[in-house]
Amino acid sequence: MLRYIVRRLLQLVPTLFGLSILLFAWLHSLPGGPEAAMLDVRATDAKRAEVRAALGLDEPLIVQYGRFMKRLVRFDLGDSFTTGTPVMEEFGRRFPATVELTVVAMIIAICAGIPLGYLAARRHGRIFDGLTVTGSLLGICIPIFFLGFILKAIFAVKLGWFPSLGRQDVDVNATRVTEFYVLDGILTQEWDASLNALWHLILPAIALASIPFAIIVRMTRASVLEVLGEDYVRTAEAKGLRENTVRGRHVLRNAMLPVVTSIGLLTGGLLSGAVLTETVFVFGGIGSFLATAISNRDYPVLMGFIMIIAVIYVLINLAVDLSYSVLDPRVRVR
Amino acid sequence: MSAKTDRIDRLAELTARKDEGGHGLWYEAFRRLRRNPLAMTGAVIILLFVLIAILAPWLAPHDPAAQTWLGEIRGAEGFIPGPRSGNWLGVDGLGRDELSRLIIGSRQSLLVGVVATLLGFTAGAILGGLSGAFLGMFGKAGRWVDSILMRFNDMALAVPSLLLAISVATILGQGLVTVMIAVGVTQIPVFARLLRGSMLAQSHSDYVLASTALGVRKRRIVLNHILPNSMSPVLVQATLSLATAIIEAAGLSFLGLGGANAANPEWGVMLADSQQYLATNLRLAVYPAVAIIITALGFTLLGEAMREALDPKLRK
């Protein structure tokens, strides 16, 4: 087990190395440069060259890449071209927002998706099943920003139950510890601040949860249907095990394997794909920051953020693979 | 040699057909699809959508770009008039007939969906097919090629798709072509991974073992047996991807990357434009959104039904 984890982590090194080269080549091949975003369109060529030199962009690409790698081995990702702050610091400030949003969205999707999918499978072919399937398909087909708008228009603007934007009310005077606003409130025992942040999370999280919810419902339903037809379920029922034991130990546990895989992949996707939701609810996570970074050609931010996301993506997949051996003793990782 | 293997192929095929009750996989799948009401609903929606897109210029009651001065037709319920005689769905913020814009807009959505999916499908299938074929044909060297191709693929999956889209836009400028390419490119790794996985699963089948035992050459097994049998999940994905492409294109338009001009309205752009009227005229957002949702639902229903129809585990 430990050897397996170590090997997987070692495989990260060449993958990240390849990714860094590809990313570097891709970003620097985009037309225009950071100076175009920093200077007025009327700036002279001399001024542009001056700015490029100040950012170290006048050197050959290979030298620039070497400098990037030299810093990287010391876990230094350089400073953002646009804000001037270290990339790590920017990331530390924005990533918690995205993580909070993703986690709450996934909790909603899982808590609603798995029971619904399970019930639909138990009532296979009846009205409840049909409604669940159609409803989950609708969840995939609704453009996420439209759902965000509708939720905002109804629950924030019309009814006023939830705030319509931001992570916390501006008049909440909260102490920052980890930049995870909900967690900060708990750590400092400022319960109001924590609750306020949670309140801000609900609407965007519901919007973001729509697609993973739909996928989890269908995965669970299909998987449970398949397991229900297995011989061991019939055997378990035939030998008179209580229904709850059969459901929990035999059906659900075996049906969870593919569901867990998709949950892992979905979480990875949400971390980088929350841009639309973050834009609609002005949430200030990494998605919207990345989108502006690319139009500003903020190379350090882009390189840094994407590489960190890639590492997290790989780690999530590793966790998924490890969870197999917990859920299914037949699967032994080697 | 070839005549002999031909005979073996034929024999294998006949045996396989016999197992399925005398009909091919696709024939059986089609028969099951026809009995599935959800699949038929999806098919009808798609048919209507395609018909509307083709006949759009004749169906649209007005010129989608023609503006009416809003002061002249100001409705009682608000500044922008809602449904009324002459404009069944009312007009948009610039006084253009909403229904006509929706009808003409179906063409752009169809175009984006089809082109983006074709792009992702073709490039992804080549990548995944190569990977799977090398894996099946060349032993250790093949595993190397496969491993390199798939690592590239994984990296592409890790890069947020929106960033790919924005960078395509910076190279090509805003516009419909950008949206098509951007959406298509993000589909490539999905198709690649799917086809490779499917080929890998097929290569463990009994018929492959049988063909190998009969001395059929590896290249022939991979190209004539494994590859065609691996295509069904990829085709299902293509149907589903048509829906995703239409939704994603709307998302890109919403972020300001889509470029539709006045004469060529697009649903995503219409939805994005409606933002400024959200508080007063929600219907301007609802019409294009409903159009997108229904169309996407059509492709999804058909795709899901196809998946079920083609799944040997669910066949009785």
**DSSP per-residue letters across A132-152:** HHHHHHHHHHS-HHHHHHHHI
Contacts of A24 in chain B (CB under 8 A): none
pLDDT at B262: 57
| Residue A181 main-chain phi, psi, to 5 deg | -60, -40
pLDDT at B119: 93
- CB nearest to B251's CB, from A19, A141, A143: A143
Segment A156-165 mean pLDDT: 80
Cβ atoms of A239 and A229 closer than 8 Å: no
Contacts of A27 in chain B (CB under 8 A): 167
Q: Which two structure tokens, joined as six digits, stand for B270?
A: 């219409």
Residue of chain A with shortest Cα separation from B172: A31
Q: CB atoms < 10 A from the CB of A37, how many? A: 15
Whether residue B314 is predicted with pLDDT greater than 90 in this model: the reply is: no
- CA distance linking residue B60 with residue B97, whole number of Å: 9
**Residue A35, SS3 per DSSP:** helix
Query: ipTM surpassing 0.90, yes or no?
Result: no
| Largest Cα span, chain A | 86
Q: Domain B2-310 is of which CATH architecture?
A: Orthogonal Bundle (1.10)
Whether residue B1 is predicted with pLDDT greater than 50 in this model: the reply is: no
A273 or B210, which is more confident: B210
Label residue B245 left, alpha or beta by phi (over 0 means left) and psi (-120 to 50 means alpha).
alpha
- CA distance linking residue A289 with residue A207, whole number of Å: 20
| Cα end-to-end distance, chain B, whole Å | 39
- CA distance linking residue B55 with residue B103, whole number of Å: 9
Whether residue A111 is predicted with pLDDT greater than 90 in this model: the reply is: yes
Label residue B221 left, alpha or beta by phi (over 0 means left) and psi (-120 to 50 means alpha).
alpha
Whose CA is closest to B17, among B29, B25, B9? Answer: B25
Residue of chain A with shortest Cα separation from B301: A137
Domain ranges of chain B: 2-310
Topology of the domain covering A87-327 = MetI-like fold (1.10.3720)
Contacts of A18 in chain B (CB under 8 A): 151-152, 155
Distances (CA, A) of A57 to A83, A145, A304: 17, 37, 17
Encode pLDDT of A299-324 as tens digits.
888 888 888 887 887 788 778 777 77
B172 in contact with chain A, both atoms CB, cutoff 8 A:
no
Please report which residue ranges of A58-190 form alpha helices under DSSP H.
61-72, 87-122, 127-141, 144-151, 181-187
Task: Give the mean pLDDT of chain B.
Answer: 78
Cβ atoms of B264 and B56 closer than 8 Å: no
Encode pLDDT of B262-286 as tens digits.
567 788 888 877 777 777 777 888 8
Whose CA is closest to B126, among B201, B192, B181, B218? Answer: B192
pLDDT at A41: 72
Encode pLDDT of A188-245 as tens digits.
777 777 777 788 888 889 988 988 898 889 888 888 888 887 788 888 888 878 877 7
DSSP string over A32-72 = S-HHHHHS-TT--HHHHHHHHHHTTTTS-HHHHHHHHHHHH
- CA distance linking residue B72 with residue B135, whole number of Å: 69
| Cα end-to-end distance, chain A, whole Å | 7
Residue of chain A with shortest Cα separation from B307: A222
- Percent residues over pLDDT 70 in chain A: 96
- Among A16-20, A58-62, A129-133, B61-65, name the one with the lowest average pLDDT: B61-65
Under DSSP, the state recorded for B277 is G
Instruction: Name residues whose C-beta falls within 8 Å of residue B236's C-beta, 6 or more positions apart in sequence.
Output: B303, B306, B307, B310
Segment B158-169 mean pLDDT: 72
Q: Which two structure tokens, joined as six digits, stand for B17?
A: 């057909």
From the CA atom positions of chain B, what is the Rg in Å?
A: 24
Distances (CA, A) of A20 to A65, A308, B228: 9, 11, 37
